[in-house]
Amino acid sequence: MCGIAGEIAFSYDVRAHRENLLRMQKVLAPRGPDQQGLYLSEQAGLAHRRLCVIDPAGGRQPMRRVVDGKGYVIVYNGELYNTGELRAALRREGARFTTRSDTEVALLSYLYWGEDCLQRLNGIFAFAVWEEEARRLFAARDRIGVKPFFFAEAGGGLLFASELKGILAHGAVPPVIDRDGVAEILLMGPGRTPGCGVFRDIRELCPGSFLTYEKNSLRVRRYWKLTDQPFTDTFAQCVEKTRFLVLDAIERQLVSDVPVCTFLSGGLDSSLISSVASRYLAKQGKELTTFSVGYRDNEKYFKKSKFQPSSDPAYIRLMAEYLKSDHHDVILDTPQLVQGLYDAVNARDLPGMADVDASLLLFCREIKKEGTVALSGECADEIFGGYPWYRDPEIRARYGFPWAQTTDYRLGFLRDEWTEVIDGRAYVDRRYRQTLADVDRLPGLSATERRMKEMMVLNFQWFMQTLLDRKDRMSMAAGLEVRVPFCDWRIAEYLYTVPWEYKDYNHTEKGLLREAMKDYLPRKVLWRKKSPYPKTHHPAYRAAVERELREKILGDPDAPLLQLVKREALERLLTETTGTPWYGQLMNTPQTIAYLVQVDFWLRRYRVQIVS
């Protein structure tokens, strides 16, 4: 993976902004510690930082090619998993290749097929192509939205970057939030409205979309979304097709010129990926390396709950023995997690999922010491219906975002001057309704099937994007490429059409996936009840984040958070024992405290200007 950035302008000479582009490039260095490159012309500047995975010598960027006397330059972040098929198809068109890199495949795909190339690409990517003669920029993002792409119109030109910090580093866009930005942070966060960059004037290219920019014209269009189709497969056919798609996605994503490892939590998703990877590598005479994350004294303090019925260590040991993998346990302690809160904000450029972000960043740093590419199990729950809000009829029927039913609770933190200018309930409701309006459904569906289509789109556009943001920023901040096989668009597209009765096979979460892959796991792991990403249960963690809140915010009358949040609400939070969820089952009172600590740090660190 890599970091990309650029500036396009038609009213001034971009070459005069070389230092600005170098700053954009520099702040993206963690995404690409191996190589860097810069392209400059009168109208375009493209910057790149590279993490070498495929063809280190041939894949340098920005990459320029000339076809029929016309020059094209690409900066690309991602991986294509159907490179071989694309290369063969392009050769039939007359294309000639000089490298083994998928960057060249992406560039030539655009040169020969134009925007239609996006229908052919299977991978995770964000890229921009500058057409020298046409003086036109084309940029696109993968269907699922695994790789990020932010952009802003400023100073008569267009800026873009893989991360918010890339655009802010240029200097033309100040770090300002207005009432919508405040609402995003305190009413939607750590989620974000699709396309919203939180900072005023910064947007994110939505998944499955592309943009074109030429003189006096910025155009954004969508090229893919989840669409319903008639479903005629029997259950046996559905199982077989699901099995094929999952195996094919995982095996395609094991291709690399550097060693590949896997995350292993002992849960269904990471265990399946690890098992497929282990068998695939064994055929090549290689051993799989696996990594698990845990917390100091977690077994001592772990308490079963409806959402977290079992802890991971016993299942991790079982899987490591089953796989005969070279297994590594990473154990984190409270002081690391507290410092990690701040490092995670620097990685995400926004407050995030508190210790859930921090622990992943620390985990990725440890994995990076051993490898460069890892596979992880994100997004199976969204696609196969694994979350509690899919399965509990009462939760499922509730109006609103199922993982964030606490708008009134959140509004209780806002200072009065903000509740006077922000209609919080309307803000959240408008985004919920807009998402439902985007749901594609065939006529004649039952009420259950209609709701399940809504649930999948809600999760796809919101909760899943929060997790993908987290995975991309935390892993890339550590210089680690993490691939997510369940985000293969073919799996998502097919599963969107599969009836709930099939997904709910055996009345078990992700029952279809379990049945399709049942010979890849020991029975104890195959039918293990879902348990979410592990977090610390140590009481020292809550005590530590409470101390951060008291000392750095309540102890500082000039703390920027106090411009947004009532002091008395923060004091009340410190005594809270009921545990009102902030965002899904992973963010309760300790994480709410940590999130607000992150908000304050973010306001300071990024020197955010708050305007109403």
- DSSP states of 27-53: HTGGG-BSEEEEEE-SSEEEEEEE---
Per-residue pLDDT, averaged over 558-562, amounts to 97
pLDDT in tens, 325-380: 999 999 999 999 999 999 999 999 999 999 999 999 999 999 999 989 999 999 99
Q: Name which of 142, 85, 129, 130 is nearest 103 in CA terms.
A: 129
Residue type, 211: L
Q: Is residue 597 packed enough to be buried (19+ CB in 10 Å), middle (13-18) or exposed (0-12)?
A: buried
> Computed from CA positions of residues 585, 586, 587, 588, in that sequence, does the dihedral angle turn out positive or negative?
positive
Per-residue pLDDT, averaged over 271-275, amounts to 98
Neighbours of 441 (CB within 10 A): 14
Question: What are the structure tokens assigned to 283, written together?
Answer: 């055929």
What's the pLDDT band for 536 if we cut at 50, 70, 90?
Answer: confident
Q: Is residue 610 packed enough to be buried (19+ CB in 10 Å), middle (13-18) or exposed (0-12)?
A: middle
Q: Name which of 363, 570, 579, 558 is nearest 475 in CA terms.
A: 363
φ and ψ at 15, to 5 degrees?
-60, -25
Question: What are the structure tokens assigned to 103, written together?
Answer: 């960057």
Whether pLDDT at 313 is above 90: no
Which ranges of 18-163 does DSSP label H, i.e. alpha helix?
18-27, 83-92, 102-113
Residues, the chain: 612
Q: Name which of 573, 526, 542 is nearest 410 in CA terms.
A: 573
Report the C-alpha gap between 587 and 581 in whole angstroms: 6
Beta bridge partners of 77: 126
Residues forming the active site: 2
pLDDT in tens, 378-416: 999 999 999 989 988 988 899 999 998 899 999 999 999
Q: Read off the pTM.
A: 0.96
Percent helix, percent strand, percent coil in the chain, to nearest 5: 45, 20, 35
For residue 284, the model assigns a pLDDT of 93
Q: Contact at 8 Å (CB) between 223 and 118?
A: yes
φ and ψ at 527, to 5 degrees?
-105, 20
Report the C-alpha gap between 218 and 157 in whole angstroms: 10
Report the C-alpha gap between 547 and 559 in whole angstroms: 15
Neighbours of 103 (CB within 10 A): 27
What's the pLDDT band for 509 if we cut at 50, 70, 90?
Answer: very high
pLDDT in tens, 174-183: 999 999 999 9
Q: What is the pLDDT of the chain when averaged over all its residues?
A: 94
Burial call 444-472: b when 16+ CB within 10 Å, e when fewer: eeeeebebbbbbbbbbbbbbbbbbbbbbb
> Which residues neighbour 449 within 8 Å (Cβ) at sequence distance 6 or greater?
499, 500
3-class DSSP state for residue 132? coil
Neighbours of 366 (CB within 10 A): 17
